[in-house]
Structure 1
Amino acid sequence: MEKKKKSSRAPITCFTADAEFFAIASKGTVGIWNTSNGNLVAQWEQQDGVPDVHYSCMALRFTEKKKIRHRNAHYCLLAIGTDDGQVLAFDVLTNEVIWKSTISQSGRLTALSFANEETSLYAVGSHEVVEIDAESGQLVKSLKTTKKPIHSASFSLAADRKIIFIFDGYLRLLSLDDGKELVKMKSNSGHEQLVAISDDAKAVVTSGLGETSIRVWNCDWDTKTLSPGATIPIVHPASAIECKSDNSSADGLVILTVLESGLTYLGRFESPLQDKVELIHVKVEPDSSGVETPKHKRKSISAARLKSIEERSK
């Protein structure tokens, strides 16, 4: 009798909005680290006897006590999305289950994100985007976005304009206030596994399933169109991409790409429409001696996050 192969899943990871904390989930355990000093802050484990939960996405937020009612300590809220359409919310510091909510009746959650300086949590289901009160788990509103399954999603949560970028066979930018479609474009590649939108919503980046390239697009809000910029070759398929505005120039953009092999690259653009860019290889050295480490001893990178120019300069 042929043995069934065990399904191997890459760990699910996330950062807080300020990138000060990092969480990674694997085999029923979630660990949270301080990115400044590398210390383990908290750890949550799935309890014995609880049905096995398959995670699909996570969001993490540390909140001061003055911003949370009826709590006497700092609050570490971890939201976990599952393959069966649920969101589970935990206070990791106390190991307390705060609430559970079923978001999608038709399958896997694609993405989760906390709104900046608010108590809202956004969850992307198979066909809808849901806003949840992060304290209670109560539904605030549900936006029906598409009749086709959503494969990937990314958020731009600026205070003046909250936008979600989704892929469902089309590249769509939608308002999170009312679900209105702002930009729509057919994807020529067929399946964009990864999508990212910049924090100012002026650029998006995409990469197809198994592809060894990433594509940059310019968002023109006057004409409501996406214009293609550079197609950047990479040596292996990407496992994560992110883009953020570079405040050193009016239309500047920085792109972070983590490959499935653990290689990580940065690309800096004067404009999203720039047709070529040189990628910078990001390396993690095992010690601080400053001596170049042989290639076979370098550590691979499983997750990374960009910070703004002002934050990096502090």
Structure 2
Amino acid sequence: MAGEEETMEDHCHPKSSAGGGGLVVGNYCHDVIFRDGVVVGEGLGGAASFLSNVLDPLSRNPSIYISKVGSDFSYSVSNAPITSTSSRTTLFHAHFPSASGGGYHGDRILHRVRACESIFPSDLPLCRFDFGLAAGVAGEILPETLALMLDLCRVMLVDVQGLIRVFDSGDGTVGLAPLRSTAFLEFIPRIDFLKASADEAPFLDLEEVRKVCCVIVTEGKDGCSVYWKEGEVKVAPFPVVQIDPTGAGDSFLGGFVVGLSWGLAVPDAALLGNFFGALTVGQIGVPKFELSLLKAVRQELERMGTQFSEPCSRNFSVSYQKSVSHEDFRDFLVRAAELYCCGNSDLTQVNHIGEIA
């Protein structure tokens, strides 16, 4: 209705324009990493930090981030969070055994030491967005907040960890609950893409969920699998020496959303997600991507996306089949990753698909 649209525009975030860009919801946090009880790293964490690291330089349109921190938040970030006056910044302790050889998520014991207050519906800008991304890490996304996001966003992507994580009342150990036991179950048919790790997938009732939305299961060193009502497809990984898996799923989501926003087929977008997920586990904390790497990837996305005139929307004809250039795109990304991981900041050797020097 006209009156409703006027109200939404009146309440839009200054950086937003009604009908464009993305809405990303999920808190920043402090991460402390232990190996055999000894601190080996600490720094900025949370979905917002990893997602913005990929989305901001590569997305077709800018996104708005809604996050909360306490007054103790000690990092400078490009997307300013809301400062809570009633709670401190979310803090996680991640414990790894040294014998894990770099470790996968299954080797990690994660504790939520403290949690910032929830993100409420009233914290969201009342605008229309091309896509929404709900990426909670510590239970900060409420059912009513997700419900409003579904109303505001044409395409909705959700990281299932924000829906099924549970926290021990004593030491904050992070566990998982069956999706069917949560208040979020009713929203699943309205979600377009649901991302889960291999550890989380058994809690979804995958065969039922895939009937109503696309499910992407990330599988670490084995890449990822995409499931939808009529089929499934495996998307290849990128070899990497894993140091810290923290944030890999968020970086995957960032790459996946970027690919969709440029009009890539779902498996091609998932390939880009695998690429950034792999680069993330090779560093501790939020990875530092060379500008030359981001520039090379963006130029390739621009070239591939010239055949698409609009960003993704609910009317976008999603293709679940690998494009004819899928393998060439992977070759391009493999070469870019090799140069990047070897410390080569000159990525002019990587041209567009089919022209890799």
- What TM-score does the superposition give when structure 2 sets the normalisation length? 0.35
More helix per residue: 2
More strand per residue: 1
